[in-house]
């Protein structure tokens, strides 16, 4: 099987906003707002090829044929906690989407993801699923979340993240070659604590003001 696509965002608004996210002096309030804006813009790019079906409608002037998204409503699945910061921004673009939640934290010593919560929308297996998390570092969390979705029968999964390390992309592509990855920017590397360099620090802490 071929590898999934890796689509790196080239939109100037996204680059501008990610730079604000990186700055250490950006406040919790601004960080939260801007991570949502980036999610909206990324969602726009990641939905370019969604399937449409024709629909006959009437305007105040006459009958005509328009288009609507085909199939079941899309599902957005944030990886808790930091993925929550992207949900509103995605729903601003796709207000009828369903939302599932997968709770994972990285063990501080092993960096391995530990699952603590999973609640998915009805019929998730037949929906287009967007898994969202601001950070793809070792790739452990993304792989575990998508493993879980596949256990539930999901076949149509995309992964959206704001900043990725090359290591994480490689790990995710190997584990889930069918999953397309939409990434704001690919950074240089991971440091000894498995943080992305230059990155933006701990996304969950910056969104929620913990630590
Ligand atoms: C962060 C981030 C990802 C994960 C990425 O979450 O939001 O989920 O780390 O790292 P990985 O690619 O090496 O798995 P964290 O575990 O810090 O939990 P939090 O979102 O609750 O803060
Ligand atoms: N999780 C984060 O929030 N930031 C990183 O740099 C790596 C993992």
d(CA 22, CA 94): 27
Whose CA is closest to atom 15 on ligand 1?
Answer: 105
User: Is 1 a residue whose pLDDT tops 70?
Assistant: no
Model confidence band, residue 155 (pLDDT cutoffs 50, 70, 90):
very high
Which ranges of 23-102 does DSSP label H, i.e. alpha helix? Answer: 28-46, 84-93
Is-contact 85 35, C-beta < 8 A? yes
Ligand 1 contact, 75 CB (< 6 A): no
pLDDT at position 108: 84
Counting Cα atoms < 13 Å in the Cβ hemisphere of 78 gives 19
Distance of CA 61 from the midpoint of ligand 2 (Å) = 53
Calculate ∠ Cα 62-64-65, nearest 5°: 165
Closest CA to 164 of 208, 192, 197: 197
Q: Report the pLDDT averaged over residues 15-24.
A: 98
Its pTM surpasses 0.85:
yes
> What is the signed CA dihedral for 36, 129, 102, 95, rounded to 10 degrees?
40
Catalytic residue list contains 30: no
Does residue 208 have its Cβ closer than 6 Å to ligand 1? Answer: no
Quick count: other Cβ atoms within 10 Å of Cβ 170?
A: 13
Angle at 114 between CA 198 and CA 86, to 5 degrees: 50
Instruction: Say if residue 26's pLDDT is above 80.
Output: yes
Catalytic residue among 19, 110, 123, 147: 110
Token pair 């369903």 is found at: 98
Which of 113, 144, 138, 141 has the alpha carbon at shortest distance from 189? 138
* From 86, 171, 188, 199, mutation site for ligand 2 pocket: most ligand atoms within 8 A of C-beta: 199
Pairwise CA distance, residues 121 & 81, whole Å: 18
Please tell me the predicted confidence (pLDDT) of residue 2: 81
111 pLDDT band, cuts 50/70/90, is confident
User: Mean pLDDT across the stretch 48-66?
Assistant: 97
Residue of the nearest CA to atom 10 in ligand 1? 137
Cis before 198 (ω within 30): yes
Distance CA 84, CA 131 (A): 11
The percent of residues in the chain predicted with pLDDT above 70, rounded, is 100
Confidence of residue 90 (pLDDT cuts 50, 70, 90): very high
For the question of residue 110 being annotated catalytic, the response is: yes
Shortest-distance Cα residue to atom 8 of ligand 1: 141
pLDDT averaged over the chain? 97
Q: What pLDDT band is residue 3 in, cutting at 50, 70 and 90?
A: confident
Mean pLDDT of 126-154: 97
Backbone angles phi, psi at 72, to 5 degrees: -75, 160
State the Cα–Cα distance between residues 201 and 179, nearest whole angstrom.
Answer: 26
Mean pLDDT of 163-171: 98
Mean pLDDT of 98-115: 92
The Cα–Cα gap between 136 and 126 comes to 25
């Amino acid at each position: 099987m071929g590898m999934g696509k890796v689509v790196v965002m080239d939109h100037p608004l996204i680059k501008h906003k990610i730079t604000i996210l990186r700055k250490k002096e950006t406040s919790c309030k601004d960080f939260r707002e801007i991570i949502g804006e980036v999610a909206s813009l990324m969602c726009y790019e990641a939905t370019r090829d969604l399937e449409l079906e024709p629909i006959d409608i009437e305007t105040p002037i006459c009958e005509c044929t328009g288009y609507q998204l085909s199939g079941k409503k899309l599902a957005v699945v944030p990886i808790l906690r930091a993925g929550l910061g992207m949900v509103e921004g995605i729903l601003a673009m796709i207000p009828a989407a369903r939302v599932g939640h997968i709770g994972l934290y990285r063990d501080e010593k092993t960096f391995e993801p530990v699952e603590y919560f999973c609640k998915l929308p009805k019929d998730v297996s037949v929906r287009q699923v967007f898994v969202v998390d601001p950070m793809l570092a070792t790739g452990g969390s993304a792989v575990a979340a998508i493993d879980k979705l596949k256990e539930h029968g999901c076949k149509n999964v995309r992964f959206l993240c704001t900043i990725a390390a090359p290591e994480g992309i490689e790990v995710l592509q190997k584990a889930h070659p069918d999953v397309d990855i939409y990434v704001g920017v690919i950074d240089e590397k991971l440091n000894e604590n498995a943080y992305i360099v230059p990155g933006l620090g701990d996304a969950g802490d910056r969104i929620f003001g913990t630590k």
